[in-house]
Chains A and B, each alone.
Chain A
Amino acid sequence: MSQIIFITQNQERYELSAESGSLMELAKANRISGIDGDCGGVCSCATCHIHIHPDHFEQLPAASEIELEMLELEDNVSDTSRLACQVKVQDAPEGLIVTVAN
């Protein structure tokens, strides 16, 4: 069980926990605003863009080439941008903090 903290653009803070799945699925299940997850997690829609807290970014497995190419064209992109559907809950460090990009 990992605890993950989502912060939305409206500065709402959600402390969620899960055992499996992706951060996108977790956010959708909890109706976190700004995470639409339209494509269901195949890296096609970029409606799951998040910023990982800088302290945690390096602790996650690196993004694939395909994910990086999607992020490259996104608005509000930062050095710690990721697509939430490509980050697995089981890879998340305890207390991971992410900010929803949109």
Chain B
Amino acid sequence: MEKFGIPDPFEGEREAKGFGTVQDQEDDVMMLLRLKDVRKTAKDVKTFQSGAKPGRIVVPSEVSIRDTRQIPFEVDPPLHGKYRSVLEDWFRRPENTDYQQAIAAIIRELLSEVKAKSSVEAVSEFSLKLQSRALTLLLNIPYAEAETWISWGTHVFRSEDSAVDGDKAEILYSYIDRQILKAEESPGEDLYSILLNSEIDGRKFTKEEVRGVMILTFAGGRDTVINAVTNTLAYIASKPQVLPAVKANPAIITTAVEELVRYFSPLTHMGRVVTADTEICEHAVKADSRVSLCWASANRDPNTFENPNEINLERQLNPHVGFGFGIHKCLGATHARQVLRTLLQVLAEDDIKISLLEAKENIEDWGEFQRKVGYDQIHLSFS
């Protein structure tokens, strides 16, 4: 049985100086590595803004491929809170029992598909499909629409040869525009229609604002959910005792999912733009430069987490930042948690066995740090 692991490439620099530097399109990023610094910086939204030029807080920067502001992610207070309160209830629907049951049904359908094969490339044949089909629930649109998204492949924004691919992004943007037009012509109960009908400051959302929310919903929840699901499967394949333990005590699912999110940290980091000269880790930081909050490194900080490189499914105190921290924490977290909790529950209840056949790791290149975030491909068998 191969041991599953996601190494922590940040350990040395986190201890030595607390930050690293990522070069990106002549707009370098100071990457903060310690949990305390990451949390403090995430909270200080005045000095470390998200509402910069659209695409600039993302690393690698998307400034050259989009003008649309992602909402509420690239908006600062006070407007941020207004958007967030409009959206909050909708994005909490995954807590409902019928939503959870619908996810369980999607997973069971997928399992019957993959069990029929002797080898399954799980990124494209399981994780992408689960992510896409579950997204129809979040958007409240017909299930069949998932087939379109599955056909786009695993990377909407990323292609094999360049980190930021404008043509691929265009597929998503023009698709979203068409859906907004459709919802305008015949409104329904879907997220597009709800947004078109939502109000902020006493006026209706503009089409550009609807677009901004939808791009965030699609892009933010794609690679992240796919990596989290794939890593969960790989972990289970390496540890056959996990599912029986979950079955014997389903109450551990909650702590288990938080621990997996901490350990996997599906999103490595997220940037901010500095609004005034300041200092972090005894290091001067200039106004209009970029810093990033490295969730993946913060989640292995030994000053807070005991045995940070071990997965302890019953970790009781787990102040991880896998979904971000502060006002900009992940809007889709309720959905993502429900997908992962239900996945563990169904796999355990149905006595599924997973074996690893072959894998190619997905290693992100952040200059001085090479980080495994998941798999490009992983061949598994399900029984």
Once the chains bind, are A39 and B258 in contact (CB under 8 Å)? Answer: yes
Contacts of A69 in B (CB 8 A): 36, 304, 319
- Nearest-neighbor residue (CB-CB) of A28 within chain B: B95
Inter-chain residue pair count (beta carbon < 8 A): 44
Contacts of B329 in A (CB 8 A): 45
With contacts A44-B258, A66-B304, A73-B43 taken as known, whether A38 is within 8 angstroms of B333 at the C-beta atoms is yes
Once the chains bind, are B39 and A73 in contact (CB under 8 Å)? Answer: yes
Once the chains bind, are B40 and A42 in contact (CB under 8 Å)? Answer: no
Contacts of A39 in B (CB 8 A): 258, 318
Once the chains bind, are A40 and B317 in contact (CB under 8 Å)? Answer: no
Q: Is A41 engaged at the interface, CB distance under 8 Å to the other chain?
A: yes
Contacts of B36 in A (CB 8 A): 69
Q: Is B383 engaged at the interface, CB distance under 8 Å to the other chain?
A: no
Contacts of B257 in A (CB 8 A): 40
Q: Is A7 engaged at the interface, CB distance under 8 Å to the other chain?
A: no
Q: Is B315 engaged at the interface, CB distance under 8 Å to the other chain?
A: yes
Q: Is A70 engaged at the interface, CB distance under 8 Å to the other chain?
A: yes
Contacts of A41 in B (CB 8 A): 254
With contacts A66-B319, A69-B319, A73-B39 taken as known, whether A42 is within 8 angstroms of B304 at the C-beta atoms is no
Once the chains bind, are B254 and A40 in contact (CB under 8 Å)? Answer: yes
* A-side interface residues, number (CB < 8 Å): 15
Q: For window 48-101 of chain A, which residues contact chain B by CB distance below 8 Å?
A: 64, 66-67, 69-70, 73
Which of the listed residues A36, A38, A66 has the most CB atoms from chain B within 10 Å of its own CB?
A38
Q: Is A43 engaged at the interface, CB distance under 8 Å to the other chain?
A: yes
Question: Which of the residues B318, B321, B326, B334 comes within 8 Å of A42, measured between beta carbons?
Answer: B318
Q: For window 228-266 of chain B, which residues contact chain A by CB distance below 8 Å?
A: 254-255, 257-258
- Nearest-neighbor residue (CB-CB) of A42 within chain B: B318
Contacts of B323 in A (CB 8 A): 45
| Chain A: minimal CB distance from B87 (Å) | 14
Once the chains bind, are B255 and A40 in contact (CB under 8 Å)? Answer: yes
Q: Is B320 engaged at the interface, CB distance under 8 Å to the other chain?
A: yes
Question: Which of the residues A42, A64, A73 comes within 8 Å of B258, measured between beta carbons?
Answer: A42
Once the chains bind, are A42 and B39 in contact (CB under 8 Å)? Answer: no
Q: For window 19-53 of chain B, which residues contact chain A by CB distance below 8 Å?
A: 36, 39-40, 43
Once the chains bind, are B319 and A70 in contact (CB under 8 Å)? Answer: yes
Once the chains bind, are B317 and A42 in contact (CB under 8 Å)? Answer: yes
Once the chains bind, are B258 and A40 in contact (CB under 8 Å)? Answer: yes
Which of the listed residues B255, B318, B321, B334 has the most CB atoms from chain A within 10 Å of its own CB?
B318
Contacts of A43 in B (CB 8 A): 317-319
| Chain B: minimal CB distance from A13 (Å) | 24
Complex CA distance for A19 and B303, rounded to whole angstroms: 34
Once the chains bind, are A64 and B254 in contact (CB under 8 Å)? Answer: no
| Chain A: minimal CB distance from B99 (Å) | 15
Complex CA distance for A41 and B318, rounded to whole angstroms: 9
Question: Which of the residues A36, A38, A42, A45 comes within 8 Å of B316, measured between beta carbons?
Answer: A42
With contacts A38-B333, A43-B318, A44-B319 taken as known, whether A73 is within 8 angstroms of B255 at the C-beta atoms is no
| Chain B: minimal CB distance from A19 (Å) | 16
Contacts of B255 in A (CB 8 A): 40, 42
Complex CA distance for A73 and B321, rounded to whole angstroms: 14
* Contact pattern, B 333-353, Cβ under 8 Å of A = 1, otherwise 0: 110010000000000000000
Residues of B with Cβ closer than 8 Å to A? Answer: 36, 39-40, 43, 92, 254-255, 257-258, 304, 315-321, 323, 326, 329, 333-334, 337
Ranked nearest first, the 4 interchain pairs of A and B with the lowest CB-CB distance are: A40-B254, A42-B318, A42-B258, A66-B317
Residues of A with Cβ closer than 8 Å to B? Answer: 36, 38-45, 64, 66-67, 69-70, 73
Contacts beyond the supplied A42-B318, A69-B36: 14 A-B pairs with Cβ under 8 Å: A40-B255, A40-B337, A41-B254, A42-B255, A42-B315, A42-B316, A43-B317, A43-B319, A44-B319, A44-B320, A45-B329, A73-B40, A73-B43, A73-B326
User: 8 A-B Cβ contacts within 8 A?
Assistant: A38-B334, A39-B318, A40-B254, A40-B255, A40-B337, A42-B258, A66-B317, A69-B36
